[in-house]
Amino acid sequence: MSYADLHLHLLPGVDDGARDEREALEHATRMAMEGVREAVVTPHVGHPSFDLDVASIPARTRALQARLDQARIPLRLRPGGEIHPDAARSMTAQELETIAQGPPGARWVLAEVPFAGIDEGFLAGCRAIRAHGYAVLIAHPERAAGFLDGELERLSGELAAGSVLQVNVCSLLGHHGPEAQEGAERLVREGTAYVLASDGHAGSRRHTLRLGFELALSAGASSVHAWRLTQANPRFLLRHGVPGGPGTPAAAAAEVIPPQRLAAARAAARRLAAAR
């Protein structure tokens, strides 16, 4: 298995993730040992509790990558950010480009839902991002209050506009309460989620994306779907952009599964089932 994590708080000393370089390296080591090979570092951007200059994120990422390389930790980092709901409408095109992923013409950014509930302000922020020419990966919608009581319907316009949903491993673990857990399982089971990500916080949320494969199976996904959520689809977003968005291959909602990877996913599912 080879995972790509699109939501992770690994940069040291910038938010509520890694407090220092030691914690960042320890978490990166754990990620590599559990099969994570690529990761987008996504510090909080525009969060009222963290004063982070967006322009500094690429240099901070390069510095941490250099330390990983020195320590021979096989993990490739990409500079990104998790855009706070209150900041999305004021982000400039240059700031968005600094933390965007995907190829030219199909770039996208990670936008955080408000925990208090999906409101018009958040939807307006998503529209503002798209007006600058960037697609939106919506982070952990299951964590929005009232998600099971119709909040998903409030995202219907964004989904129609091409946004895709990212579910947290920690939500599937139940770390954010039963409502978020049930919502996450529903998004996985019904095929509404496009990717899983750890939302790992070095030093506190120690799980990695590897656990997402098993949790997706427990939520009712097939081994192939679990593979897509944790491996194929994240890499598709990095290589090609949001499916159906500008510049992406016409019919490629996810990669065609090579036979050896399909066999590996099914074998992993059998091992996990036997261990229960």
User: Which residues are CB-neighbours of 186 under 8 A, at least 6 positions away?
Assistant: 142, 148, 192
pLDDT in tens, 14-33: 999 999 999 999 999 999 99
Average pLDDT per run of 10 along the chain, which is 276 residues long?
A: 95 95 97 97 96 97 98 98 97 98 96 96 97 97 90 90 96 95 96 96 85 96 96 97 64 45 46 49
**Cβ neighbour number for residue 245 with a 10 Å cutoff:** 22
Residue 266 pLDDT: 45
Residue 261 pLDDT: 44
Structural domain that includes position 166: 3-275
pLDDT in tens, 171-185: 999 999 999 999 999
Q: What's the total number of domains in the chain?
A: 1
Instruction: Kindly provide the b/e burial profile for residues 131-142, where b requires at least 16 CB atoms within 10 angstroms of the residue's own CB.
Output: ebebbbbbbbbb
Residue 256 pLDDT: 44
Distance separating alpha carbons of residues 90 and 88, to the nearest angstrom? 6
Residue 187 pLDDT: 96
Mean of per-residue pLDDT scores for the chain: 90
Task: Check which CATH number belongs to the domain holding 162 and give it.
Answer: 3.20.20.140
* Cα-based distances in Å from 172 to 122, 135, 155: 23, 25, 20
Residue 253 pLDDT: 43
In contact, 17 and 43? CB cutoff 8 Å: yes
Residue 274 pLDDT: 54
| Structure token digits, residue 275 | 């261990």
Q: Alpha helix (H) ranges present in 110-220?
A: 120-131, 151-154, 156-160, 169-172, 178-189, 210-218
3-state secondary structure of 150: coil
